[in-house]
């Protein structure tokens, strides 16, 4: 059974249908990639699943419950989480406390000591343990991305959306973040990666959903999608290795 099921979701902003009947299904433990050009509706899809906006029509279920009109904090408590394109840590808190605060947010009566233990464990999982006692302003871009990941996972996440976790990273930094994502996936986390470019997720995602104009244009394994005629014609016009 799917962990997350998005069916027929429409979200309009004025006259524009940012989402125009989107279908998405994610099974527990999967790593799914969502790609598409600027304005395809990727971020709006994340926002609608997280409850930032309610859809104009359609239905969203998570863990067997209809969450279409559930408030965001209750979705978070059910284990839905996300990272943001632009990390927003608390700069006056140490790295470990940034994660501990995220663990305490919304969960009733979690003692500080336990929140710090959770934070320590998460920092190890994202390979940031050695920076635990430092402040966010001293972190590099890739380290900030890892902090953002740890914060997103802190509330007992079951499914996490990674919104362009690779943005601005190249070479060793890109490989490092992607191997952290791979390890989280291997540890059982359900992950949906939103990316601009296919090559970032080609070797990582089991399944790729291509979005275009608020709809799903294609879906399949990375090799199926990259040889799909509709995708090549309407989205690419160039070789996958270039996008």
Ligand X SMILES: Nc1ncnc2c1ncn2[C@@H]1O[C@H](COP(=O)(O)OP(=O)(O)OP(=O)(O)O)[C@@H](O)[C@H]1O
Candidates 4, 30, 36, 99: give the one binding ligand X (CB under 6 A).
Answer: 36
Residue 74 neighbours by CB distance under 10 Å: 13
Report how far residue 121's alpha carbon sits from residue 34's, in angstroms, rounded to the nearest whole number. 28
CB of 14 to ligand X, least distance (A): 7
3-state helix, strand, coil in the chain (%, to 5): 40, 25, 35
Report how far residue 41's alpha carbon sits from residue 111's, in angstroms, rounded to the nearest whole number. 39
Candidates 35, 44, 75, 118: give the one binding ligand X (CB under 6 A).
Answer: 44
Site for ligand X in 175-234 (CB under 6 A): 196
Report how far residue 57's alpha carbon sits from residue 70's, in angstroms, rounded to the nearest whole number. 14
CB of 94 to ligand X, least distance (A): 31
CB of 41 to ligand X, least distance (A): 4
| Owner of token pair 């926002």 | 47
| Helix, strand, or coil (residue 161) | strand
Q: Which is nearer to ligand X, 41 or 222 (CB)?
A: 41
Q: Which is nearer to ligand X, 103 or 208 (CB)?
A: 208
Query: By CB under 6 A, how many residues form the interface with ligand X?
Result: 12
Site for ligand X in 9-28 (CB under 6 A): 13, 16, 18
CB of 241 to ligand X, least distance (A): 20
To the nearest 10 degrees (0 to 180), the angle between helices 112-125 and 141-153 is 130
Q: Is 43 in the site for ligand X (CB under 6 A)?
A: yes
Report how far residue 26's alpha carbon sits from residue 34's, in angstroms, rounded to the nearest whole number. 11
CB of 162 to ligand X, least distance (A): 13
In angstroms, the Cα distances linking 208 to 9, 96, 202 are: 19, 34, 8
Q: Which is nearer to ligand X, 18 or 67 (CB)?
A: 18
Residues that bind ligand X (CB under 6 A): 13, 16, 18, 36, 38-44, 196
């Amino acid at each position: 059974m799917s962990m997350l099921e998005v069916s027929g979701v429409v979200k309009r902003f004025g006259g524009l249908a940012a989402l125009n009947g989107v279908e998405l299904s994610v099974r527990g433990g999967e790593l799914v990639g969502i790609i598409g050009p600027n304005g395809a509706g990727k971020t709006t899809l994340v926002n609608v699943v997280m409850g930032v906006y309610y859809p104009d029509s359609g239905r969203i279920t998570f863990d067997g419950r209809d969450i279409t009109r559930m408030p965001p904090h209750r979705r978070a408590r059910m284990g839905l989480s996300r990272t943001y394109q632009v990390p927003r840590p608390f700069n006056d808190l140490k790295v470990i406390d940034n994660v501990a605060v995220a663990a305490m947010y919304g969960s009733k009566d979690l003692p500080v000591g336990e929140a710090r233990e959770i934070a320590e464990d998460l920092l190890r999982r994202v390979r940031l343990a050695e920076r635990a006692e430092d402040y966010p302003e001293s972190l590099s871009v890739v380290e900030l991305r890892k902090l953002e990941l740890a914060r997103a996972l802190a509330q007992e996440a079951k499914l996490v959306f990674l919104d362009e976790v690779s943005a601005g990273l190249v070479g060793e930094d890109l490989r490092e973040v992607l191997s952290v994502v791979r390890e989280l996936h291997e540890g059982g986390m359900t992950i949906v990666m939103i990316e601009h470019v296919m090559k970032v997720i080609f070797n990582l995602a089991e399944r790729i959903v291509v979005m275009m104009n608020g709809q799903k244009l294609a879906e399949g394994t990375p090799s199926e999608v990259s040889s799909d005629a509709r995708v090549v014609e309407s989205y690419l016009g160039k070789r996958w290795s270039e996008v």
